[in-house]
Amino acid sequence: MDFRKTFSLIINGAVVTAPFILLLLPVDYFDTGDSICLSKVLAGIECYGCGMTRAVMHFVHFDFAGAWMFNKLSFLVVPMLFPLWVKSLLIVLNKPLPRFMVKWM
């Protein structure tokens, strides 16, 4: 196996397992602690991505009110991540992408 194929398999494997790991963690796992957003730390201004990790965590646990509270854009981001997750799953399983997905990605 060459390096690129191995690296691709590792990255896609991590993408496939990430939602399951998030499901194992408690819903409020990321809710406490200081922000690491440079915009918020340096300028005190929240960017569009602030709270996205916490919002996705709440979304994955079906706490939609909590996800909405942390970042409203999570309702766009999570559905957009789903096709990428399916693509990674098919790569890990060594299955061909469906024809409609080849056109998208």
Per-residue pLDDT of the chain (105 residues; tens, 9 = 90+): 688 888 988 999 999 999 899 889 998 888 887 777 888 888 888 888 888 989 999 999 999 999 999 999 999 999 999 888 998 999 899 888 888 777 776
What lies within 8 Å, CB to CB, of 24 at 6+ separation is none
Residue 41, pLDDT score: 84
Contact status, residue 12 vs residue 92, Cβ threshold 8 Å:
yes
Question: Shortest CA distance to 16 belongs to which of 68, 94, 76?
Answer: 94
Q: What is the pTM of this model?
A: 0.77
Residue 105, pLDDT score: 66
